[in-house]
Chain A
Amino acid sequence: MIRFDVHVAAEGGLHARPAALLVNCAGQYQSRVTLVKDQKQADGKSILGIMTLGASQGDRLTIEIEGADEKQAAAALKELFDKRFES
C-alpha cells in the first residue's frame, strides 16, 4: 500500500470539477484509492464520496492506494494535486 499526504490547493476545495478529474484519474487504475480527511474516508472513485468529504482549499488529505498498479496511480494522483487540477 502507498500512503501520502496532499495539500488541497484548488480554489473552492474539492468541488465538482476537481472531484470529477480525480475520479477520472483514479478510475484508470485497478488499485483501490481512498481519501482520508480527519476521521472521514472517501472512495477515490466516487465523485459524491469525494465531494461530501468537504475538503476545502488549504486542507491536508491523506491518500491511500492499494493494488497491482498502485505506483502508477500514486504518481498520476500526485501530479494532479501538484498541478492544482489545472491541466
Chain B
Amino acid sequence: MMFKGIPVSAGIAIAPIVRLAAQPPVAAAGEKIDANRIAEELQSLERSIALAREQLSGLKEKAMDQLGPEKAAILSAHIAFLDDPSFAGEMKARIENQLCSAPAAVQAVAEQFIALFEGMDNEYMRERADDIRDVSRRLLRNLSSGDSHFAGFPEEPFILAGEDVTPSETLQLPLAYVKGIATAKGGPTSHAAILARSLGIPAVMGGGEAFLAAAETSQMMILDGTTGELWIAPSEEQLSIFREKARQEADDREALDALKDLPAVTLDGHRVHVAANMAVPEEAEALVASGLDGVGLFRSEFLFMDRDSLPDEEEQFDAYKRVVSAFQGKPVIIRTLDAGGDKHLPAMALPKEENPFLGFRAIRISLARPELFRTQLRALLRASAFGRLLIMFPMISHVEQLREAKRLLEEAKEELRMSKAPFDEQLAVGMMMEIPSACLQADAFAKEVQFFSIGTNDLVQYTLAVDRMNESIAHLYSYYHPAVLRLIAHVIDASHRAGIWTGLCGEMAGDPLATELLLGMGLDEFSGAAAVMPKVKARIRSTTIDQARKVARYALSLSSAGDVYRYLHDKTE
C-alpha cells in the first residue's frame, strides 16, 4: 500500500514501523522495565521532578502576585512534596528495586499517599489527597512530554510513525536505530522537519490520516524522503528496487564524505563558506565532525519552545557556550529569539493574531520586552568569550529597530564590563535580510552591521505575498522568482560596496540547483541543513567563479520562476 506525503528530509529508509501512541497513557500502573533501563528511567524521573519544581516556582510567584500568600503556600507544599525523600525517594526505589517504569513508580507512590491521606479523620488532611493527585499528575505529564513516551524503543532499526513529532521528541530518538520519520501532519518547515534534516534522518510529513490508520507497529515499511512515498507492507519487488536505490545513495554519500575536510573553493580559487543551520545545542558535536565552516544560523528559539517557563541567563549561557566552544574558533552565528509567527512559545503566552506573520514576532517582541532581550544578550555576550560568536537580529524592517537592538546590546556590554565579566569586544553584529523593505534599503543597513544573512523562507513569502503553509497556493511559492533573485542580488551588491559580507540561511542555500546561481551573484556564505550541505560544497568545488557569474547573469535576465528553474535544471542534466 502506498501513501504520498511531503518529502522533508532526503534519503531512503527500509525498516519495521514503530507507531507512536497519539496520547501518552496516563495509567501506566504496573509497567515494568528491563534492568538495563534503570538508569534511563531514573534520569527521566529526575528530569520530570526538576521541571515540575521549575513550573511550580513560576506558578508560585504568579500566585503570590495575583492570589496572595495563602494560595501560594499550597504551591510551596507541592514543591515540598517533590523535595520529600519519602516521595521522590520511594519512586526511585521502586524503579531500582522493583523495575517499575518511571510513570508506574510515580503512580504507585502517589496512590499510596492518597490512600493514607484519605483514611485520615481530619477533613483538612483528607483534602491533601488532592494535592498529591495534582503533583503526581504534573509529574506524569512531564514524563510523557519527555522520553517516556518513547519508553519501548527497540534496539534495532525502525521507522517512527505518528500523528506528529515534537522537536523535543525528535531529540529523544535513539539516533543509532531510527532510520526514518513519517508523520500524518506537519510540513517541510515544521520544526520536526528541520531537525530531521539537520540530523540526517530521512523524513516524510503530512502523510495523512489514512497512512496513520494503516501503519501498525512491526509492519515492514519503505520511506523515500526524496519523493515522499510511504510504502506499508511492500512487495518483494518494491523492496529490491528500493534496496538498490538506497545502495546508490550510500555510494553518493561516501563520495561526499571524501570532501569533508576540503575547503569550499571553486576550481579557480574563489573561496566561500559553507556552514550549517542548527537549532539545539545537542547537535553541535555531530556538526563539528561534518567539517563545515561553522554555523550560519543557530535558531535560539528552540531553547524557549516546549516548556512552561523561559530559560534564564545561566541556562542560555550554557547552551550558547556549548555550541561556540565546540566549534573551536569557527564562526557561530546565533540569531536572537525569533518567536511568534508559526513558532508558539507556551512560556510567553503570546496573543493569537489574525496575521501572525505580519504581527508581533521576532525582534518586535524582543524590543517590546527588553528585560527578556537583555537576558539573552547578556548570555550571548558571556558565551562569546569561549570562541567566535556572531549575533544576528531577525525580522528587521526599520532602521530604528536595528539601532535600538544595538543600543540594548551596548548597554549589556557596559554591564558586563562593570562586573568584569569577559566577552569578545570584537563581536560582530549582523541582521537577517528577510523583509523586502530591508533588502531595498540594504545600503543604509550596511553602514550599521558587519554582515547580512538572507532568510529566503520568509523573504519569498513577504515578496510574493504567498503563505508558505497554504497548500493551495504552494505552486506560487518559489525562490527562483525573478523578484526574489533581484532582491538577493541587490543585498549582496550593497554589502560588498560597504565592505561587509552576505550569507544565506534559508532552504535555498541547501539546494544544489541554486548553488552556481548564488555563487555567481557573489554570495559569501551558504548555510543550510548539515545533511545537504556537502552536496553544495561539491557543486562549488566543481565550477569556476567566471562560469557561475555567467549563470547568474543569464538567470537574472529571465522573467519567470519557471524559466529560471528550467534553465538551471536543464543545465545540470
A47 within 8 A of B: yes
Q: Which residue of chain B has the shortest Cβ distance to A56 in the bound complex? A: B122
A23-B86 contact in complex given A16-B73, A51-B128, C-beta closer than 8 Å: no
Of chain B, the residue at the smallest CB distance from A57 is B122
Report if B113 contacts A (CB, 8 A).
Answer: yes
Q: Are B80 and A47 in contact (CB under 8 A)?
A: yes
B122 in complex: contacting residue of A13, A16, A23, A48, CB < 8 Å? A13
Chain B proximity of A48: nearest CB distance (Å):
5
Residues B121 and A54 in contact, CB atoms below 8 Å apart: yes
Taking the closest CB of chain B, its distance from the CB of A2, in whole angstroms, is 22
- Tell whether, in the assembled complex, residue B73 and residue A17 are in contact, meaning their CB atoms are under 8 Å apart: yes
Docked complex Cα distance between A25 and B76 (Å): 16
A48-B73 CB under 8 A given contacts A23-B80, A54-B125: no
Closest A residue to B131 by CB, please name it. Answer: A16
CB of B350 within 8 Å of the partner chain: no
A48 proximity list for chain B (CB < 8 A): 81, 84, 86-87, 113, 132
Contact across chains for A52 and B80 when beta carbons are under 8 A apart: no
Interface pair B73/A54, CB less than 8 Å apart: no
Q: Bin the interface of chain A by size.
A: 10 to 19
Q: Does B85 make an interface contact (CB < 8 A)?
A: yes
Task: Report the separation of the CA atoms of residues A69 and B435 in the bound assembly, to the nearest whole angstrom.
Answer: 67
Give A52 to B114 CA distance when docked, in angstroms.
Answer: 10
Query: Quick one: which of A16, A17, A43 has the most chain B CB within 10 A?
Result: A16
Asked if residues A47 and B84 are in contact (CB atoms below 8 Å), the reply is: yes
In the assembled complex, the CB of A32 is this many whole angstroms from the nearest CB of chain B, namely 12
Q: Does A62 contact B (CB under 8 A)?
A: no
Task: Specify which of A52, A54, A56 is in contact with B113 (CB 8 Å cutoff).
Answer: A52
The reply to whether B125 and A15 form a contact with Cβ atoms under 8 Å apart is yes
Residue from the set B76, B83, B84, B116 with the largest chain A CB neighbour count within 10 Å: B84
Q: B128–A46 contact, CB under 8 A?
A: no
- Of all chain A residues, the one with the shortest Cβ separation from B85 is A46
Give bound CA distance, A31 to B85, whole Å: 15
Given known A-B contacts A16-B128, A17-B73, A47-B81, A54 and B86 have beta carbons under 8 A apart = no
Q: Given A13-B122, A54-B125, A56-B122 in contact, is the A20-B76 Cβ separation under 8 Å? A: yes
Q: Which residue of B lies closest to A15 (CB)?
A: B124
Chain B residues with Cβ below 8 Å from A20 are 76-77, 80
Q: List 22 A-B contacts (CB under 8 A).
A: A12-B124, A13-B125, A15-B124, A15-B125, A15-B128, A16-B73, A16-B80, A16-B128, A17-B77, A20-B80, A23-B80, A23-B84, A45-B85, A46-B87, A48-B81, A48-B87, A48-B113, A49-B86, A51-B125, A52-B116, A52-B120, A52-B125
Beyond A23-B84, A45-B85, A48-B86, 15 additional pairs, beta carbon < 8 A? A12-B124, A13-B122, A13-B125, A15-B124, A15-B128, A16-B73, A20-B80, A43-B85, A47-B80, A48-B84, A48-B87, A48-B132, A51-B117, A54-B120, A56-B122
